[in-house]
Amino acid sequence: MATKLNPRHVHVDTAELKEAHPGFYRDVQDTKLWPLWEEMNQFANRTEPGPGMAPALWRYSDVRPLVMRSGDLISAEEAERRVLALMNPGLKPNMAVTPTIYAGYQLVMPGEVAPSHRHSPAAFRFILEGGGAYTAVNGERTYMYPGDFVVTPSRTWHDHGNETDEPMIWLDGLDWPLTNKLGLTYFEAWPGFQHPETKPPGDSSVRYGMGVVPLGHEHRAAYTPVVNYTYERTREALAAMSRSSDPDPCHGVKTRYTNPLTGDDAIPTLSAFIQLLPAGFHGAPCRQTDACVYSVVEGSGRTEIGDIVLEWEPKDTFAVPIWARHRHIAADEDAVLFSFSDRGLQEKLGLWREQRPHP
Ligand code: GTQ
């Protein structure tokens, strides 16, 4: 994307200055200082948000064979987590899909357990393939199926196990690049292999996800107490909403995964959404300051990002950069897109912006 030059570009020949005043530059460096005018153009030349990353598409038909091959190379236990991470070409060499978010395809083969650990980055899983493997969060198991959104808050113990006879593959999202930037990335291995079961499976969904809350529960955590937002329920919500309300011209029918006790994002640093684009939907172009990663759940279509056209079908993943004007187009059946970004973080900081077509 072309960047407009700022009219107050800093017109300094820094090479000439440096040559004429080597002593000054040396003394400044020796004093643990650095002249801002050397760097100012990097800052002042950018009049619009971004870019920070590139538009990108990961076709599941390309990804799946590699994920399965990784299953022959290394076990879940050896790898700790057997994952192929999405490398956004615009963010290399960082293992990141947006400036603040890491994502990867994780494989757990039948009979395997990925051992219990916890870490400062928060994580979610969005299930792509298989059915009935579990993630245990602080000893509460949830059995996972395609389209489920499973939350592993910061510093919660978690292990993944697959007692079924099919491989399970899901998309992981972590706020790891952000915790790296904050100098707050750390990790602990559970002393045993698996955390003991502490609650019956699904306990958090009935306790906190039904619109009733146990008396005496005071919610202070920054994260949702619900472990699994099942596709069964979110799909029902999308279907009902699309029957009774007009789609937004840019986003179709779009909902956000929230903490049912506070209405905030389920994970403060990883806002997550799911939207339905009705058959034949031709979205209006819009752009936002949050880079967004999409995972296609149902249907097929395309997303136009400037001159770039990304054609997608179920289980494909694609990334829309910061402030990139884009539109979604659904083919001749309803499409469902899961997505995630750092929008909630930007909103809290007063940085989030959206530009929509004028009505
Ligand atoms: O499942 O805990 O993709 O710790 C990267 C690091 C997944 C996990 C990842 C992790 C995990």
31-43 residues labelled b (16+ CB within 10 A) or e (exposed): eeeeeeeeeebee
- What is the SS3 string spanning 163-179? CCCCCEEEEEEECHHHH
State the Cα angle at 316 between 303 and 172, rounded to 5°: 120
Residues 91 and 203 in one domain: yes
Q: Residue 16 — φ and ψ, nearest 5°?
A: -65, -45
Residues 140 and 168 in one domain: yes
| pLDDT (0 to 100) of residue 121 | 98
Query: Is residue 123 within 6 Å of ligand 1 at its C-beta?
Result: yes
| pLDDT (0 to 100) of residue 307 | 94
Radius of gyration for the chain, computed over Cα atoms and rounded to the nearest angstrom: 23
Residues 180 and 322 in one domain: no
Query: Is residue 155 within 6 Å of ligand 1 at its C-beta?
Result: no
Residues 188 and 63 in one domain: yes
Alpha carbon distance 16, 143 (integer Å): 65
Q: Residue 344 — φ and ψ, nearest 5°?
A: -60, -40
Nearest CA to ligand 1 atom 11: 81
Domain that holds residue 254: 231-355
Residues 18 and 64 in one domain: no
Instruction: For residue 302, tell me if it sits in a domain.
Output: yes
Query: Is residue 88 within 6 Å of ligand 1 at its C-beta?
Result: no
Query: Is residue 172 within 6 Å of ligand 1 at its C-beta?
Result: yes
Cβ-contact 147, 297 below 8 angstroms: yes
| pLDDT (0 to 100) of residue 159 | 97
CA-closest candidate to residue 134, choices 122, 147, 145: 145
Residues 28 and 110 in one domain: no
Query: Is residue 97 within 6 Å of ligand 1 at its C-beta?
Result: no
Alpha carbon distance 284, 328 (integer Å): 8
Residues 61 and 27 in one domain: no
Nearest CA to ligand 1 atom 10: 81
User: Which of 74, 102, 106, 317, when mutated, tests ligand 1's pocket best, judged by the most ligand atoms within 8 Å of its CB?
Assistant: 106
Q: In total, how many domains does the chain have?
A: 3
Q: How far is the CA of 327 from the centre of ligand 1 (A)?
A: 31
Residues 92 and 178 in one domain: yes
Query: Is residue 104 within 6 Å of ligand 1 at its C-beta?
Result: yes
Q: How far is the CA of 230 from the centre of ligand 1 (A)?
A: 20
pLDDT 10s per residue in the chain (359 long)? 445 566 666 677 888 999 999 999 999 999 999 999 888 877 877 888 877 789 999 999 999 999 999 999 999 999 999 999 999 999 999 999 999 999 999 999 999 999 999 999 999 999 999 999 999 999 999 999 999 999 999 999 999 999 999 999 999 999 999 999 999 999 999 999 999 999 999 999 999 999 999 999 998 899 999 999 999 999 999 999 999 999 999 999 999 999 999 999 999 999 999 999 999 999 999 999 999 999 999 999 999 999 999 999 999 999 999 999 999 999 999 999 999 999 999 999 999 999 998 76
| pLDDT (0 to 100) of residue 2 | 47
Alpha carbon distance 321, 229 (integer Å): 26
7-24 residues labelled b (16+ CB within 10 A) or e (exposed): eeebeeeeeeeeeeeeee
Token reading at 138: 């602080």
| pLDDT (0 to 100) of residue 6 | 66
Residues 84 and 124 in one domain: yes
Relative to the CA of 83, which ligand 1 atom is closest?
A: 3
Residues 61 and 32 in one domain: no
Q: Check residue 252 and give left, alpha or beta (phi > 0: left; psi -120 to 50: alpha).
A: left
Q: Give the CATH number for residue 104.
A: 2.60.120.10
Instruction: For residue 87, tell me if it sits in a domain.
Output: yes
| pLDDT (0 to 100) of residue 57 | 98
Nearest CA to ligand 1 atom 6: 81
Q: How far is the CA of 315 from the centre of ligand 1 (A)?
A: 19
Q: How far is the CA of 172 from the centre of ligand 1 (A)?
A: 7
Residues 93 and 202 in one domain: yes
Q: How far is the CA of 159 from the centre of ligand 1 (A)?
A: 10
